[in-house]
Amino acid sequence: MGSDRGSYFLTRSGKKIHYFDVQEDDLDLEDIIPAIANIPRFNGHVGSYSVAEHSYWVAKLVPDERELRLWGLLHDASEAYLGDIAKPLKDALPELQSVENNILLAIAFKFGLPWPIPEEVIHADKVMLATEVRDLYPKECHEHFVLEVEPTTQFEVHPWKPTFARSMLESCIRYYL
């Protein structure tokens, strides 16, 4: 598949995502929200816990400011087009990191968000990783994770059904837009 902008991925809505030339008009919440509600974190190794639910909780952990909450909800929106790629593999593929950053930059422009992603969101993402390890992985696996922060004590993670994750994420995103 090709065009004047190079190879592309066709979304459910018919939009074309040109990985090396992502434009903000290529991105659509009608593609992003259902996709990340159906994409499991950790490649499905902890069950049906979705990227959408993860994003919802990240947004809950940042201060209640529009830009921070919206970034929390959208910080993994690139995964609607790339999938949830394990960090060790992503770290080994700088070109993949570049594509992901290009998608996230287009998201920032589209939704009027600051670039780069604010540190508060990055920290909340790390807190969620620690929380997910605590709540979703068996204890004997915990030692294999290098966690930079402690898990939150505000809640425990229990995987939602994809339809519920989708509705929660969508209502929150619409609220902050």
Kindly give, in sequence order, each residue whose CB lies less than 8 Å from that of residue 46, ignoring residues fewer than 6 positions away.
40, 132, 136, 137, 159
Which pLDDT tens digit goes with each residue over 98-118? 999 999 999 999 999 999 999
Alpha-carbon distance of 101 to 107, in angstroms, equals 10
Distance CA 15, CA 30 (A): 10
HSE (side-chain half, CA atoms, 13 Å) at 145: 23
Residue 137, amino acid? Y
pLDDT in tens, 130-152: 999 999 999 999 999 999 999 99
- The 10s digit of each residue's pLDDT in 43-90 is 999 999 999 999 999 999 999 999 999 999 999 999 999 999 998 999
- What is the pTM for the complete model shown? 0.95
What pLDDT does residue 87 have? 87
The listed CATH number (1.10.10.10, 3.30.420.10, 3.40.1190.20, 1.10.3210.10) that belongs to domain 30-85+111-176? 1.10.3210.10
